[in-house]
Structure 1
Amino acid sequence: MFDGTRRRVVSLWCPRLASDRALRARPTEGPFALTLREKNADRIHCLNAAAEAQGLHIGMGLSDARAFCPDLTTRPADPAGDRQLLLILRRWATRFCPWTACDGADGLLLDITGSAHLFGGEAALLTRMRQRLIRAGFSARIGLGDTRGAAWALARFGEGVAAPGDALAALAPLPVAALRLDAETVTGLQRLGLGRIGQLAGAPRAPLARRFGPGLLMRLDQALGDQPEDISPQADPPHYGVRMNLPEPIGLESDVMAGAGRLLDRLCDKLARHEAAARMFRLSLRRVDHDTRHVELRLARPMRDPARILPLFARGVAGVDAGFGIDQLRLEAIDTEPLAPRQISPDGAPRQDRLDDLITRIGTRIGIENVLRFLPADSHIPERGHIIAPAAFSRPEGIWHTPRPRPLIMFPPEAIGGTGTTPPVRFRWRRMGLTTARSTGPERIAPEWWLDDPAWRTGLRDYWRVETREGRRLWLFHTPQNPGWFVHGEFA
């Protein structure tokens, strides 16, 4: 009988956490799997029971999986979303005990010492935990023991309960892999005929330590309780949200901005204490009729300076219908990032800060993703010498490598009349008759064979800079393999 003084640990394992999450959002009948690209190949990341029944397994190539199961339904995996879900489950598990922590990418650890009697005993607690997970659409396996190692082994290899003080009786029939050993050590033990934990526990310890090192015996002792293993409870992430309840409703824009300023001071202080900054804020304004209006602000850079952030709310607040008045304000930092303290310049805001504020102001009108900038790209192909990226999520970094001058204006190649390998003396382009005054070249550019670009399938190009007597400065190229002349750009 458990006396309440012995430590008891629960290991909760969700072997299909990722696929269960995907199927909860969009249910699918039949075999289902999530895929993840690894080493230039799509492989199975997680799958449901129907797919396992068809012989599929994690790590299997997607092409092989479709050969085994032609009716397999797949979706791309979302590891970041799975990690977020595990954190949500960890917080949910605190209803059973305060000492909870994540265990890997698909498991939880709970130290239920002194908590089981609140739910009618250990059996009732485990039953309630399993029923709630099944009701939510998650498949789970649960192990309970005196140690973290014993609970982990029982959840993944036995799904059982070890009696208090007798972990060896429950672990003896389990394979040695249940001791959280690496594959090489497991294979070596199996070659010695030590395939079960009971066999390993009864074997001489000195030869095992000499052959496999101290890690093997440490894992065994941790599982049996002969060596301690701590379980550190995982702290909840800081919540960046503040609110203000008003004794009397307000409706003027200046009053709302004043209240938002007070909330912003408190929120930015909290961000500074945690050395964080926010990319996105949400100001919620609750009206007296219980209708809530939201004002979202997306920033070009993570910030925590109230003086710079508050004026950016003015446009959104001005468009809010206050109705019969607003009686509550709530401000949240939705998207946060680490931001270490930095030296403040006595000369005022740096130039980059002013540019970021400008990008934010423009972004509030047209969308922060629609403010774009050009960045250099490592390619000798003229059309691929740059990329276009959102200015809010990129920095003007890198060097523009231009070994030869490039035209300011580029357009799809336009054919002109001409023969030979040197620019034609006279030619017509866009209904204009032009005469070559001076030409510089050629600059030969070859296609990038590793990319299938339809525009460059014709092969080599010899580029020339041509100055015409009419004042046009054009960029022409000749294709030797299929003789022809084209205009590709114009210099300023």
Structure 2
Amino acid sequence: LLLRCHPEWAIHPVAVVTEDKPQGLIRWINSSARKAGVRPGLRYAAGCSLAADLRAGVVPPTEINGAAEAIIERLRRFTPEIEPSAEEPGVFWLNGAGLTRLYPSYEAWARLIAADLNGVGFRATVVVGFTRFGTYAVARAQNGTVALNDPVDERAAIRQVRLECLEIDPDLRDTLAKLGVTTVGAFLALPAGGLLTRFDEAAYRLHRMASGELWTPLQPLKPQESIRQRLLLDNSETDAMRLLFRIKGLLHPLLKALAVRGEALAGLTLRLQLDGGEQREEQISPAAPTLDPVQLLDLIRLRLEIVELPNGVVEIELEASSVLALAEQHRLIVERPRRDLEAANRALARIRTTFGDEAVGRVRLADAHLPEANFRWEPLKQGLGVRSEESGGAPETRNPKPETKERSLVRRIFAKPVPLRLPPGSTLHGPYIVSGGWWGRDLSACGHAQAGTHRDYYFAETRHGELLWVYYDPHRSRWFLHGTVE
């Protein structure tokens, strides 16, 4: 995923770090970084001391989860039973039982899976074996497609796997290496009880899995069939109100089917087949997952009012995307706070429905060392007052803090710094130094390093009382205006 954003890094050692700072922890590495001695668990600065041309970046968890879901959908073409690893992203176990009539051999089945994933930009290793840990360990140690013929071959392959190839605790890995235990075979020679006493439960569990004592059956994800409602019209319809009445007849059984599954509607896809073969598809997004037909019909009405239907509609289809319903969505009486955030979210949903998803946005903080890169705009999808790991927002409180009489200053940042001739007589407060980019520097032919970004920020108070946020760039030898304080 990181190399998709930076394909020019493919020839270098690359690491995924927890934060874009020298002290950020290394989570994952490519083969070039491993050959250079870089290991997960090190600080990025320590990794640079081992590989001078080490490149690193942050991959958000949301991007990782989204890619995993996309891979699962592709793998469903080859088997219906897939279990993604809950601990290690990018690891999937597949059930190949009963597929011999579809594929000439398990090895051919594995090659087709690897070719499909490689074709969309991933580098996949597929191992066909007999145990969960065996296939995992060999897949982490080898590349390409591997077919283990019998359990004896699998056990022999497992014992040759080096512990540094596995996703285990770095402290455990380093301690075992000091004791001369570097392979799974040497690790299995240790007494399980002694591992539990000397280390922790994780080391003991790893030993039991590697020895085959701890066996867990495949726990595949069960794909949920989408809930749809479809209606064929006898005559083409162009009137929005009559279409809304028809859609109402489809919406109630759709919501009832969701309620039976204990889910709430998070999004609604409205497909309108027009007379003449053209199809229109509209996305309806409520403020929050809901089972309220009145709220949904109101959003559908707003969308139908702006959709042009010159040839008339001959077929209507509704498809729901859902999430598990919260307990509050099943209550008859719900306590309402003084600030009705649900009403605000419904108003924002109406704006999105009328003008599109991009009409309502929010600012998200980003990991970067430059101020203009510390945030980005994105569509607001969760609504106000919702707390999650992704949004990082705080829930609403019943007793807000009392208002203060002090007036807060607002710093308005320009999207792009503007060259500035500093007004004469300005009073400077600072400097506040921002320096970065040195870890991604390239070495020139003469052996000198190109400098990274360096800025000396100041608050400049002009003679007219303006408060400017400026910085001096020593590489360009000039001042820049980056914002104002009001």
**Band of TM-score, shorter chain:** 0.5 to 0.7
**Native 8 Å contact 1:244 1:329 kept in 2:** yes
> Equivalent residues in 2 for 1:98-117 (5 A)?
98-103=80-85, 104-116=88-100
Does the 8 A contact of 1:144 with 1:154 survive in 2? no
- Tell me if structure 2 keeps the 8 A contact 1:147–1:222: no
1:122 corresponds in structure 2 to 106
| Structure 2 contact 188–210 (Cα < 8 Å) conserved | no
Aligned to 1:339: 326
- For the 8 Å contact 2:19–2:57, the answer to whether it is kept is no
**Pairwise mapping of residues 421-460 of structure 1 onto structure 2 (< 5 A)?**
454=459
**Which among 39, 59, 62 is matched to residue 80 of structure 1?**
62
Q: Superposed, which structure 2 residues align to 1:152-191 within 5 Å?
A: 152-159=136-143, 160-166=146-152, 167-176=154-163, 181-191=168-178
**Residue 332 of structure 2: SS of its match in structure 1?**
coil
SS of 2:186's equivalent? helix
Q: How does 1:377-456 map to 2 (within 5 A)?
A: 393-395=383-385, 397=396, 399=400, 401-404=402-405, 454=459
**Separation in structure 2 between the aligned mates of residue 86 and residue 290 of structure 1, nearest angstrom:** 35
Q: How many angstroms apart in 2 are the aligned matches of 1:180 and 1:337?
A: 32
CA deviation after TM superposition for structure 1 residue 454, in Å:
3.5
CA offset at residue 44 of structure 1? 6.8
Instruction: Give the letter for the 1:233 counterpart.
Output: P
Aligned partners of 1:145 and 1:162 also within 8 Å: yes
Deviates more, 1:264-273 or 1:353-362: 353-362
Gaps of 5+ in 2: 363-378, 386-394, 413-428, 435-456, 466-484
Q: After the TM superposition, which residues 59-458 of structure 1 pair with which residues of structure 2 at under 5 Å, given as runs? A: 61=44, 68-69=52-53, 77-103=59-85, 104-116=88-100, 118-159=102-143, 160-166=146-152, 167-176=154-163, 181-202=168-189, 207=194, 210-212=197-199, 216=203, 218-237=205-224, 239-278=226-265, 280-333=267-320, 338-340=325-327, 341-345=329-333, 352=340, 356-362=345-351, 364-365=353-354, 393-395=383-385, 397=396, 399=400, 401-404=402-405, 454=459
- Match of residue 9 from structure 1: none
RMSD: 4.8
8 Å Cα contact 1:36/1:45 also seen in 2: yes
| Cα distance change of structure 1 residues 291 and 76 upon mapping to structure 2, 3 Å threshold | farther
Letter in 1 for 2:405: R
Larger radius of gyration: 1
SS state of the match for residue 112, structure 1?
coil
Change (3 A) 1:245 1:339: farther
Write the letter of the residue equivalent to 1:79: P
Which of the two has greater strand per residue? 1
* Residues 289, 57 of structure 1: alpha-carbon distance in 2 compared, 3 angstrom cutoff: farther
> What TM-score, normalized to structure 2?
0.63
1:283 counterpart SS class: strand
Residue 336 of structure 1: how far off its partner (Å): 5.4
Where does the alignment leave 5 or more consecutive residues of structure 1 unmatched? 1-17, 374-388, 413-445, 461-487
TM-score, normalisation: structure 1: 0.62
For residues 116 and 362 of structure 1, the distance between their equivalents in structure 2, rounded to whole angstroms, comes to: 53
3-state SS of paired residue (1:393): coil
Q: Distance in 2 between matches of 1:314 and 1:250?
A: 15
Counterpart amino acid of residue 331 in structure 2: Q
Which residue does the alignment assign to 1:421?
A: none
C-alpha distance in 2, partners of 1:321/1:20? 43
CA, structure 1 residues 173+314, in 2 after alignment: closer, same or farther (shift >3 Å)? closer
- In structure 2, distance between residues paired with 1:219 and 1:263: 52
Alpha carbons of structure 1 residues 337 and 406: separation in structure 2 relative to 1, 3 Å: farther
Q: What code does the residue aligned with 2:96 have? A: I
Q: Give yes or no for contact 2:127–2:139 (8 Å, CA) kept in 1.
A: yes
Deviation track 1:209-265 (CA, whole Å, cap 9, x = no partner) reads 654567656534433434422220112256354433335433322331122212322
TM-superposition CA deviations, 1:32-76 (whole Å, max 9, x none): 768665286567776777787888776663898699349x6x876
Alpha-carbon shift at residue 450 of structure 1 (Å): 12
Residue 68 of structure 1: SS of its match in structure 2?
coil
Give the letter for the 1:323 counterpart. P
| Structure 1, 48-57 or 119-128: larger mean CA deviation | 48-57
Q: 1:216 to 1:351 in 2, by over 3 A?
A: closer
Question: Any conservation in 1 of the 2:228–2:318 contact (CA below 8 Å)?
Answer: yes
**Residues 241 and 331 in structure 1, CA contact (< 8 A), matched pair in contact too:** yes
**1:19 and 2:7 equivalent?**
no
1:121–1:294 CA distance, 2 compared to 1 (3 A): closer
**Residues 226 and 286 from structure 1, CA distance in 2 versus in 1: closer, same or farther, beyond 3 angstroms?**
same
Whether the 8 Å CA contact 1:284–1:294 is kept in 2: the answer is: yes
8 Å contact from structure 1 (residues 94, 100) kept in 2: yes
Identity of aligned residues (%): 20
